[in-house]
Structure 1
Amino acid sequence: MTDLATLPDEASPGAPQPKLGPLGRLARLSYRRRGVTVLAWVAALAAAVVLSTFFGGDFKADYSAPGSDSKQALELLEQRFPSQSGATVSVVVRADGGVAGLRGDVQALLASLTAAPHVAGAEDPFQAPGAIAADGRTLVANLRLDVTNPDDMPVADSQRLLDIAHAAEHPGLTVALGGQSIQRAEQGAIGSEGIGLAAAIIILLLTFGSVVAAGLPVLVAVAGLAVSSSLTALLILFVDAPDWSTSLATMMGIGIGIDYVLLMVTRFREWRAAGLDPEAATVATLDTAGRSVMVAGSTVIVSMLGLFAMGLSFMRGAALVTILGVLVTLVASMTLFPALLGYLGRHVDRLRLPLGRRAALTVAAGGHIEPSRAWLRWSTFVQRHRFVSALAGLAILLALAAPFLGVRFGFPDAGNNRAETSTRQAYDLVSQGFGPGANGPLVLAVELPGGRGPLDALATALQRTDGVALAMPAQVNQAGDTAVITVLPKTGPQDQRTKDLVERLRDTLPAAVAGSGAVVHVGGVTATAIDSTANIARRIPLLIGGVVLLSMLLLLVSFRSITVALKAAAMNLLSVAASYGVVALVLQGGWAGRLIGIDTETPLPAFVPVLMFAVLFGLSMDYEVFLVSRMREVWTRTSDNGRAVTEGLAGTARVITAAAAIMIAVFAAFVPSPDLVLKVIGVGMAAAILLDATVVRLLLVPAVMHILGRVNWWMPARLGRLLPELHVEGRAHEHLPEPELATV
């Protein structure tokens, strides 16, 4: 046998030349034109930065449900009552001795706030009905902003409002600000991307023990991320996307970029150990592992495309931003990586770290790389105890998925923010002074084609409606054709009884104005959240069905096995369900929630599990492709299922474990984020990858495949003739040198 220390620098000139696929030819071109390739990437980055600087768009997101009653209310107000449709900031003042005695202080505060940028005006709380609590110690005044979307308010200007409010406080007077724009300013950033990247570098160093080998995945991932993040600014010129989509794309870009190149660096070192020179090893790597990477990346893209089935603009935007990152990463893996190997391939194991003696890669007489003995023992153990292993893996996943049965869907609000934030303090002060429903007012938008007549009937109906604490006097626009009525529920915005009230109002109010021509729409933030949650829940089966079917079709074509496609779908659904259970557990706010900064019971936004499903199903398929492609490689060589599963697991366990550790680190870096959505996504994805790479890939999948035997590779002859032969595992034997070069 030979190892990396005794490699010949050149392959035998008489060795047969393999028949290369497109990726192999691309690798050879990039390797030989490495200078041009690297310069092309530098030029692409420069062009992307320049274009995004001068022409970049702004992030926008519409979370309302298309065609819903709340959406119609918003559109009506935007068209006919713009002063009631803009973004607002609530100013909550609490005076121990009563706000009437501090009228001058309050008016001075409002004057200072009104003078700040993007503040169009402020209501006088001493004149507005219902602005002062019954006990006289709490008041609320609303600042009208000159932006419709709170996300369009510059963070610096929101911070200025906070500074003015804090400066106005003194003993006996408490001031707090509420609103989405203030919440964005208080969230800040913690540099999660940098934390995840640093953790990935450490894992790579421990995996390879070489600075050069560890640096290659990082270089490729960072290059792809730099280009894709710059291009994102151009993409949002044409599509609406939420600002958190960049964080999601960054997670994916760093994670899969490093994972894909990690797989190929491992394969490159194996080919060098088999006796190939650097160029031949590069070509062989892209012609074998590169195919697996392309299939894996395609499954991620297919999963993200499933978000289009939701029919929501912010979902489409988030999907496109993430797909852009994945595509750029794939291009970097197929072009920049082989170019870098042209410079560093001969030195891939240089700059070794003092981590002790590492086992050398060895090549058996047949030309294939011998699996790690430790992982071979584990694989043999699973084979020997296949039924127990399968039952144990299934039990673990089902137990973890159980908490999801009690999950509560909804949109978190300021009441779920950290206790020290101004938005949380404003929320609590309003609840104490006006009741919990004041934090989630309903906004009735009323079309009045025949005049103000129906408003009296509406006021009477609202007084008689169970669950209404207070209905403000109607405000009518100058044209007299539209009115706004603010309704305060008796219960909080996350309470099921508030949802019942919204449905009750929509059922009863049309009867109150029947015959007048008036139309009543129930809107506001709370109603929008209710409608959006219901809309997403209806569409989830479309997403799951579409993504699963497309992914199964892709695997069916790739591995030419019905069993592999069905098994992969079932296993991935189990791992996703288990990750949902972990998310539901931390949102309960108990001991698990406190570990990550969630100290109160918090609802789960319905779009979060949708995003998680799309991302996790794609990533889970990545590991499935890495594992099964190696198994199929052994199967096509030996036609021995037991050996294929055992050697395939042993041969990929190390790289899958390292890749999963990197992905876990990248996602876990977002757990400390003050943004609840990112925090929950980070928890769920880190848990899913951990379970998928351990319980699923190292235990459940091989156990089930040992149980199924040769059925794993079954394909009806007629179907097999219809499907193309992709050879996703590559033709490894064609790249092997003469046997005597690989043995001693």
Structure 2
Amino acid sequence: LILWLGGGIDYALFILHRHRKQVLAGATVEDSIPLANGTAGNAVVFAGSTVIVALLALAVTGIPFLAVMGAVAAGCVAVAVLVSVSFTPALLGLLGERILSRGARARIGHEAHRAAALRPMSTRSAVLMGLGGTVALAVIAIPALSMRLGLPDGSQDEITSPQYRAHAVIAQNFGEGVNGPLLVVAELPSTPADDEILGEQARLAELLADYEDVAAVAPVATIDDGRILTFQVVPQDGPSSESTEALVHDLRALSPLPDGTVLGVAGMASGNIDISAKLADVLPVYLALVVGLSMVILVVVFRSLLVPVIATGGFVLSLFAALGAMTAVYQWGWLGSILDVHNPGPVLSFAPILIMGVLFGLAMDYQLFLVSGMREAYVHGLPARTAVVSGLRAGRAVVTAAAIIMISVFGGFVFSHLGMVRPLGFGLAIGVLFDAFVVRMLLVPSAMHLFGEKAWWLPAWLEKVLPNVDIEGAALERSHPIHAVEEREAIPAGA
């Protein structure tokens, strides 16, 4: 629902913004709507495609609820794209010039609405912006190197919540480990005699109790005529602690015992560890799949090899900065008094992969909103470095508004009463903040300026193979007042 609402607003806003600028510059409503839909609407289709790819790729995690969540969210984004490129133009046609205020309608075609003279940014400014932004995000990302994954227990909930109070009472009266006992199952190599079962239980219980992080061991049941013995093992610390995680690994490493007894460890703590390990293992695969498929889309859209690399590199920076900030707050406890983090612990195990998927989709949205304008101005005749400034001016208002909307939506979850939701909201909000205002507004324009004409380089053989999607609308117009290019023959895309 959040992605459908946020994405729908972003996509419609992009088309609406383009249409308003064209009408204010003097274009008729009848000419402006198809042009806005053929340029901004085209960008919306490909932006939505990258989001859908990122969400559907959640199926590679092997976690059913993540796969279902990704598929449903992808369907919502697809609906948002279809509505934006169909219903929005129809509504604009019905409204006509009433899309503008009375004062604005009186100034249609005024010189103030024409594109101002453009000058490329200085190379010195581009270098300073690029270095400053990169270093800042890299420093913020440092805590991500020590990130631990896990599932929250009652200790991370609000102090006034029933979950926290129950957790605290149990921990105070019986010990932290009682909140997450382990179930150890021992399968003996052969079925013992009835009078030997008690001795086997005592032997194994003593073996388990010898571990420093074990508070208590109690036999629970015997199965299969005593061949399978079960024990409840109470750790010294809570289920999300590092010592309990180490204990689970140590107990599993015991199996098999010298006499052939096979041990298995289950329970909430071990389940958390298994899920977290599975998600940690699949993170690189998911990232490679999403980035690979989206790189193909971006190469087709921008007809460039460097632009997709710049876009992806910026996303990686903003992703790790978001994970670093989330680790510092929810695992280390920084700013805990402000963000109501009273008991720091491991980061929610499925938060990184969800943040990766959602943030990648939004990052590519912002990339397309900005760089499609740069591509458009470049194809219509502006020098490469001047086109960077033109595209930035044309798209920054939309990206700013879209980012503020998403930050507000995600930020609302930071103070939720649900401990599981808080880190997700914080990670997404801070990730959008970093990506929109540092990566897309600073790093991407500076990199595009420094590369200049080379940013749009494409091998001749690849240019012949790729379809021309004409995201810049070169086939739709012969003059380009939006980017201050004199009326002239349109330059074919990729020329």
> 1:429 — aligned with what?
169
1:289 aligns with 2:40: yes
> 2:55 — aligned with what?
304
> 2:324 — aligned with what?
581
Paired amino acid for 2:205: A
Distance 1:372 1:652, change over 3 A: farther
Paired amino acid for 2:178: A
> 1:663 — aligned with what?
406
Paired amino acid for 1:485: F
Listed one character per residue, the Cα deviations across residues 40-96 of structure 1 (whole Å, up to 9, x for unaligned) are xxxxxxxxxxxxxxxxxxxxxxxxxxxxxxxxxxxxxxxxxxxxxxxxxxxxxxxxx
Distance 1:675 1:383, change over 3 A: farther
Give me the whole-angstrom Cα distance separating, in 2, the residues matched to 1:362 and 1:483. Answer: 85
Size of the alignment, in residue pairs? 478
The match for 1:614 among 348, 351, 357 is 357
Counterparts of residues 331-342 of structure 1 (less than 5 Å): 331-342=82-93
1:504 aligns with 2:250: yes
Shift of residue 346, structure 1, vs aligned partner: 3.2
> 1:679 — aligned with what?
422
Listed one character per residue, the Cα deviations across residues 657-716 of structure 1 (whole Å, up to 9, x for unaligned) are 112111211211222212233221211121122222222222111111111111100001
> 2:137 — aligned with what?
397
The match for 2:182 among 439, 442, 446 is 442
Distance 1:465 1:544, change over 3 A: same
Shift of residue 351, structure 1, vs aligned partner: 7.8
1:472 aligns with 2:223: no
Give me the whole-angstrom Cα distance separating, in 1, the residues matched to 2:225 and 2:27. Answer: 81
Counterparts of residues 515-554 of structure 1 (less than 5 Å): 519-554=262-297
Give me the whole-angstrom Cα distance separating, in 2, the residues matched to 1:661 and 1:358. Answer: 28
Paired amino acid for 2:40: A
1:713 aligns with 2:459: no
CA contact 1:632–1:644 (8 Å) conserved in 2? yes
Distance 1:395 1:258, change over 3 A: same
The match for 2:235 among 472, 482, 489 is 489
Listed one character per residue, the Cα deviations across residues 197-228 of structure 1 (whole Å, up to 9, x for unaligned) are xxxxxxxxxxxxxxxxxxxxxxxxxxxxxxxx
Shift of residue 276, structure 1, vs aligned partner: 4.0
Distance 1:382 1:599, change over 3 A: farther
Paired amino acid for 2:81: L
Structure of greater Rg: 1
Give me the whole-angstrom Cα distance separating, in 2, the residues matched to 1:688 and 1:358. Answer: 38
CA contact 2:158–2:418 (8 Å) conserved in 1? no
Give me the whole-angstrom Cα distance separating, in 1, the residues matched to 2:375 and 2:100. Answer: 29
> 2:492 — aligned with what?
none
The match for 2:440 among 691, 694, 697 is 697
Counterparts of residues 146-545 of structure 1 (less than 5 Å): 250-350=1-101, 370-371=114-115, 380-381=120-121, 385-446=125-186, 450=191, 453=197, 455-476=201-222, 483-511=229-257, 514=260, 519-545=262-288
Gaps in structure 2 of 5+ consecutive residues? 488-495
Shift of residue 490, structure 1, vs aligned partner: 2.0
Distance 1:259 1:541, change over 3 A: same
Give me the whole-angstrom Cα distance separating, in 2, the residues matched to 1:361 and 1:297. Answer: 32
Give me the whole-angstrom Cα distance separating, in 1, the residues matched to 2:137 and 2:481. Answer: 46
SS in 2 for 1:444: strand
Give me the whole-angstrom Cα distance separating, in 2, the residues matched to 1:676 and 1:282. Answer: 46
What TM-score, normalized by structure 1, do the two folds share? 0.60
Distance 1:419 1:466, change over 3 A: same
SS in 2 for 1:338: helix
CA contact 1:284–1:732 (8 Å) conserved in 2? no
Gaps in structure 1 of 5+ consecutive residues? 1-249
Paired amino acid for 1:318: M
CA contact 1:444–1:485 (8 Å) conserved in 2? yes
Distance 1:508 1:358, change over 3 A: farther
Shift of residue 432, structure 1, vs aligned partner: 2.1
Query: What RMSD in Å do the two structures reach over aligned CA positions?
Result: 3.0
CA contact 1:284–1:735 (8 Å) conserved in 2? no
Distance 1:284 1:735, change over 3 A: farther
> 1:210 — aligned with what?
none
Counterparts of residues 618-657 of structure 1 (less than 5 Å): 618-638=361-381, 640-657=383-400
Distance 1:251 1:653, change over 3 A: same
Give me the whole-angstrom Cα distance separating, in 1, the residues matched to 2:447 and 2:32. Answer: 34
Distance 1:416 1:257, change over 3 A: same
Shift of residue 655, structure 1, vs aligned partner: 1.6
Listed one character per residue, the Cα deviations across residues 210-261 of structure 1 (whole Å, up to 9, x for unaligned) are xxxxxxxxxxxxxxxxxxxxxxxxxxxxxxxxxxxxxxxx221121111111
SS in 2 for 1:576: helix
Distance 1:382 1:299, change over 3 A: farther
Shift of residue 489, structure 1, vs aligned partner: 1.3
Listed one character per residue, the Cα deviations across residues 337-371 of structure 1 (whole Å, up to 9, x for unaligned) are 2232233233112488xxxx999676889xxx744
Give me the whole-angstrom Cα distance separating, in 2, the residues matched to 1:435 and 1:613. Answer: 37
Shift of residue 293, structure 1, vs aligned partner: 0.3
Shift of residue 731, structure 1, vs aligned partner: 2.8
Paired amino acid for 2:454: V
Shift of residue 557, structure 1, vs aligned partner: 1.0
Q: What is the identity percentage for the equivalent residue pairs of Structure 1 and Structure 2?
A: 36
Paired amino acid for 2:446: A
1:561 aligns with 2:304: yes
Give me the whole-angstrom Cα distance separating, in 1, the residues matched to 2:481 and 2:250. Answer: 79
